[in-house]
Amino acid sequence: MDASASTARSSSSVLTPRRVPKPRSTICCAETEPVTRLEGTAAGVGDAPITVFGIQNCDQVRRARAWLQAAGRPYRFHDFRVDGLQPELLAGWLRHVPWDSLLNRRGTTWRKLDESRRAAVTDQLSASELMLAEPTLVKRPVLQQGQKTLVGFSEPLYSAFFGPQDGASRS
Question: Would you give the DSSP letter of residue 30?
Answer: G
> How big is the CA angle at 149 (ends 147 and 151), to the nearest 5 degrees?
170
Show which residues are catalytic.
Answer: 58
| Alpha carbon separation from 163 to 71, 121, 167 (Å, rounded) | 10, 37, 8
Cα four-point dihedral sign 18, 152, 46, 97 = positive
